[in-house]
Amino acid sequence: MHDLSRLRDLAVSDSGFVFDPMTGYTFTVNPTGLLVLQSLKRGDPVESIAQRLADEFELDGGEDVHRDIDEFLARLREHGIVR
């Protein structure tokens, strides 16, 4: 299980610019990362995030979306945003 409580504090702009007010670090995410991040902030389950990615980015079904989301979570953990 991931502790996503700190995600709620992140300031995320529509352009994909992310500011962590606890640490002062800034990040940029691409459109798919932005969708995942905003969904995680809302507390959406991974299954529904994967479905939204498939719907909004017209995936052809060959992609391993769950693995991509896991990798994204791992990156957030590296930055101390997800524990």
Partner 1 sequence: MQRIDATIAVTGMNATDNPAPGVAVVRSLRHERSFAGRVIGLGYDALDPGFYAEGLLDGGSTLPFPSAGRDALFAHLCKIRSVFGVDALLPTLDSELHAVSTLADELKAQGIRTFVPTVESLERSTKAHLHELASHEGIRVPDSQPIQTVDALPGLIRAYGLPIMVKGVYYGGIVAHSEADAIHAFHHFVATWGVPVVVQRYVAGEEYNVAAIGDGHGSMIGAVAMRKLMITDKGKGWSGVTVGNPHLLAMTEAVVAALRWRGPIEVEFLRERESGELYVVEINPRFPAWIHLSTGAGQNLPFACAMLALGGDVPRPLPAYRVGTMFVRISLDQICDLSRFEQLSATGMLHLTKETP
C-beta of 19: minimal distance to partner 1 in Å? 5
C-beta of 39: minimal distance to partner 1 in Å? 23
Q: Looking at this protein, which amino acid is placed at residue 61?
A: G
Phi/psi for 32 (5° steps) reads -70, -40
Residues in the chain: 83
Residues at the contact surface with partner 1, assessed by CB under 8 A? 9, 11, 19, 21-26, 80
CA–CA distance, 31 with 23 (Å, rounded to integer): 24
**Which residue's CB is nearer to partner 1, number 66 or number 83?**
83
C-beta of 54: minimal distance to partner 1 in Å? 34
Contact, 36 vs 14, CB < 8 A? Answer: no
CA–CA distance, 81 with 41 (Å, rounded to integer): 11
**Which residue's CB is nearer to partner 1, number 9 or number 56?**
9
